[in-house]
Amino acid sequence: MENKSRGNWQSQVGFIAAAAGSAVGLGNIWKFPYITGKYGGAAFVLVYLIIIIFIGVPLMNSELLVGRKSGKNALGAFKELAPKSSWWIVGAMGILAGFIILSYYSVIGGWATAYIFKSGAYMAAGADHANIFVGSITNPWAPLIWHAIFMLMCIGIVVAGIEKGIEKYTKILMPALLVIMLILIIRSVTLPGAGKGLAFYLKPDFSKLTAEGILAALGQAFFSLSLGMGCMITYGSYLKKDQDIPANSYWIAGADTAIAFLAGFAIFPAVFAFGLEPGAGPGLTFITLPAVFASMGAVGHVFGILFFFLLTIAALTSAISLLEVVCAYFIDEAKWDRKKATWIMGTIIFLLGIPSSLGQGVWSGVKIIGGRDILDSLDFIASNILLPLGGLLLCIFIGWYWGTDKAIEEANIGAKSIKLGATYSFLIKYVAPVAIFIVFLKSIGVF
């Protein structure tokens, strides 16, 4: 449905940039390396790639086509395609996931923003990079101010609306991020002792793979591709009929996976070269990369500032997609205007994020799920439970309720090179839902 008043993406490139902008973010550069390190390296990466291909890509197609077909937000899409049913609950779950994710995402976005200004500290001779990081996130006030600044930037862009806001900001800065990643990789792999990091990252040791690790890989695939919560439904709703959904899906998933993979290449060789701990947790990127910049001499300043600036932009283009999911619902369904929806929701989400920030320092004694702090627990609930569950239900919705024939028909309008067909159908009806279900059962210890 082309809907002039809601706005449409102006061009194919603009759409890919915006959707890839949603996908590429902290998930790739902060979270992917840190959980790869936590769950043992190469074997985890392999499982992750398999999940992207067999579950991620079909679901990317599915969300985009449901969005374009319905022309609606995450919840409205289900009401449109399945009136008088309870399927809207899947959309509601997605909006809830958006709330939760953005609340802590903005806290980490704040860390990244703060780091733009920390090159003086981490470039100093003999700087203790772990200490600088821990010091900066455990302080009760500073991270909250950065969280507020990050959220304000996010609100500013979403208020401007999708054509003026989202598309414009993504198109230019994404390629810049890619370039700086490549420079970082070159520096990282040429450090003495980098080889051990490459082995950790590329030589699978399956004895390190656990059920929890597989669930984490599944959750990370959803999180990184922005799937399972209606984000790509919402973005798909702004797609025009002549835009090519299958090709877009491959581009977005490909770009996202490539950037995550490159981030690992920049980080793991350096982790081992500097004698750091790959399983260090959420601080891994923020501790390792400054060490790489410091090893570059004076130009490290420039690269460091540029890198954290681009990371902040990448985080922002993801955060605006999260806020857009929440706001699109209130704009479409509750008929709020864009400004009101964005300010109210942005403020609520900011407040919701405060405990995640305090949980790094003054509230660090608060442990919720399996010894995880507040931020990690929210991430676990959202990424490892809500998103895969949302994906599972979307598979069941398309495969067993609405019909893959209708889905394929919609996706293939405007498809030029590759069209969806029997393989898509098989993956959505059987492979993806069964795999997600098994991972769930296994991770709660059913077998």
Residues that bind ligand PHE (CB under 6 A): 22-23, 25-28, 101, 223-224, 226, 229, 231, 318, 321-322
Q: Which is nearer to ligand PHE, 271 or 315 (CB)?
A: 315
Q: Which is nearer to ligand PHE, 100 or 123 (CB)?
A: 100
Q: Give the residue at shortest CB distance from ligand PHE.
A: 27
DSSP 177: H
Q: Which is nearer to ligand PHE, 174 or 322 (CB)?
A: 322
- Residue (of 35, 59, 46, 411) closest to 231 by Cα position: 59
CA angle 146, 156, 106 (to 5 degrees): 35
CB of 232 to ligand PHE, least distance (A): 8
Q: Which is nearer to ligand PHE, 174 or 273 (CB)?
A: 174
**How far is it, in rounded angstroms, from Cα 52 to Cα 432?**
11
**How far is it, in rounded angstroms, from Cα 405 to Cα 33?**
38
Q: Which is nearer to ligand PHE, 226 or 342 (CB)?
A: 226
CB of 405 to ligand PHE, least distance (A): 28
CB of 148 to ligand PHE, least distance (A): 20
DSSP 419: -
CB of 38 to ligand PHE, least distance (A): 17
Q: How many other CB atoms are found less than 10 A from the CB of residue 210?
A: 15
CB of 347 to ligand PHE, least distance (A): 19
CB of 231 to ligand PHE, least distance (A): 4
CB of 206 to ligand PHE, least distance (A): 26
Q: Which is nearer to ligand PHE, 321 or 377 (CB)?
A: 321
Q: Which is nearer to ligand PHE, 171 or 442 (CB)?
A: 171
Q: Within the chain, how many helices (H) and strands (E) appear?
A: 23, 0
Question: For residue 282, with 0-12 CB atoms within 10 Å meaning exposed, 13-18 middle and 19 or more buried, which class applies?
Answer: buried
Q: Which is nearer to ligand PHE, 36 or 321 (CB)?
A: 321
CB of 315 to ligand PHE, least distance (A): 7
> Six-digit token pair at 220?
């990370």
- What's the 3-state SS for 88-115? HHHHHHHHHHHHHHHHHHHHHHHHHHHH
Radius of gyration, alpha carbons of the chain: 21
**How far is it, in rounded angstroms, from Cα 399 to Cα 394?**
8
Print burial letters for 380-412: b (CB count within 10 Å at least 16), e (below 16): bbbbbbbbbbbbbbbbbbbbeebebeebbebbb
> Six-digit token pair at 3?
């809907």
**How far is it, in rounded angstroms, from Cα 87 to Cα 74?**
11
